[in-house]
Amino acid sequence: MKMYYEKDVDVDILKDKTVAVIGYGSQGMAQSRNMHESGLNVVVGLRKDGASWNKAKEDGLTVMTIEEAAAKADVIHVLIPDEIQAKVYEESIKDNLESGNTISFSHGYNIHFGYINPPKDVNITMIAPKGPGAMVRKTYEEGFGVPGLIAIERDYTGDAFKIALAMGQGSGLTRAGVLETTFKEETETDLFGEQVVLCGGVTELIAAGFQTLVDAGYQPEIAYFETCHEVKLIVDLIYAKGFAGMWNDVSNTAEYGGLSRRKRIITDETRLEMKKALEEIQTGEFAKEWTLENQAGKPMLNRLRAIEASLQIEKVGSKLRKLCGLQK
């Protein structure tokens, strides 16, 4: 494993280059502001007079249409949602690329699955913060940063790695450390983590635990505290100290109960489903499913969102978060 830090950055590699950040959502806002404040020449490419246009201007950034930004830039850093990247690339970026340009991403999805195919005479790079945009911005303002990943899919100019690493420095990532990976590894592990653990697995585990207690006659508010609210406390311990540190900080009763019961919850059948989910990612089956879902107008996603919003745990949680001052 090789980690890269501030000392590894060629500070002059982007001195005479323009970086166009395409998009001004969570990551676009954080990375463009961080790079701008780090002294890089940054422009933001947005839909003319869209919701983010004035916001980016108010934040002190130079704002252009996506076509103008792509034409002006030496590095085009694409930070719009995965599902619209290919369309925006074809309509607004592709014809504005010049030989020797760099097209950059913070997630390898569209390159790895072949939805975007840049010409052979441009670099294809990735610099990916391992944290949400709000945290990328917050830690930068505090003088530090979140860790990141770096990957080079194509090095046409011979200095693609240096360019990507300098962008990582601009966003504050080299303060914490940047780990080298590949587009394939980043994409497949990122999707797997989201589906099986971080988003899909965790929410289903919490919801199942909550419902088990409520169905057994316990107060929904108590069930929420025990199965949802306290998850953050345990995750924070694991984040800071690892499994062993977390077990050391909870009671012996919690440690014994957790260690002796967890394989009854995450069973061999669950692990087989994890492998199946990974196979669907690796073969491109999930990517094809997600493409068709978007082409159809997201009917399944909209239905799943409606079901999630109607869950009892959501209603109870909203009430308790307001009472605890966690939510307005």
Active site residues: 107
Directed axis angle between helix 26-37 and helix 133-141, to 10°? 20
226: phi then psi, degrees, rounded to nearest 5:
-75, -30
Please tell me whether 226 is known to bind a ligand.
yes
Please tell me whether 204 is known to bind a ligand.
no
Please tell me whether 26 is known to bind a ligand.
yes
Give the DSSP H or E segment for 41: strand 41-46
190, 107 Cβ separation under 8 angstroms: yes
Please tell me whether 145 is known to bind a ligand.
no
DSSP per residue, 212-254: HHHHTT--HHHHHIIIIITHHHHHHHHHHHHHHHHHHHS-HHH
Q: Give the closest residue to 72 by CA, choosing from 12, 21, 20.
A: 20
Q: Which pair of structure tokens corresponds to residue 284?
A: 């491109």
Strand partners, 128: 149
Please tell me whether 4 is known to bind a ligand.
no
Distance CA 168, CA 147 (A): 9
Please tell me whether 279 is known to bind a ligand.
no
Please tell me whether 91 is known to bind a ligand.
no
Distance CA 286, CA 297 (A): 17
Please tell me whether 25 is known to bind a ligand.
yes
DSSP per residue, 61-122: -EEEEHHHHHHH-SEEEE-S-HHHHHHHIIIIIGGG--TT-EEEESS-HHHHTTS----TTS
Please tell me whether 154 is known to bind a ligand.
no
Full 3-state SS string of 308-322: HHCCHHHHHHHHHHH
Q: Give the closest residue to 159 by CA, choosing from 39, 13, 21.
A: 13
Please tell me whether 156 is known to bind a ligand.
no
Please tell me whether 230 is known to bind a ligand.
yes
Please tell me whether 24 is known to bind a ligand.
yes
- Residue ranges for the known binding site are 24-27, 47, 52, 133, 190, 194, 226, 230, 251
- Residue ranges for the known binding site for substrate are 251
- Residue ranges for the known binding site for Mg(2+) are 190, 194, 226, 230
- Residue ranges for the known binding site for NADP(+) are 24-27, 47, 52, 133
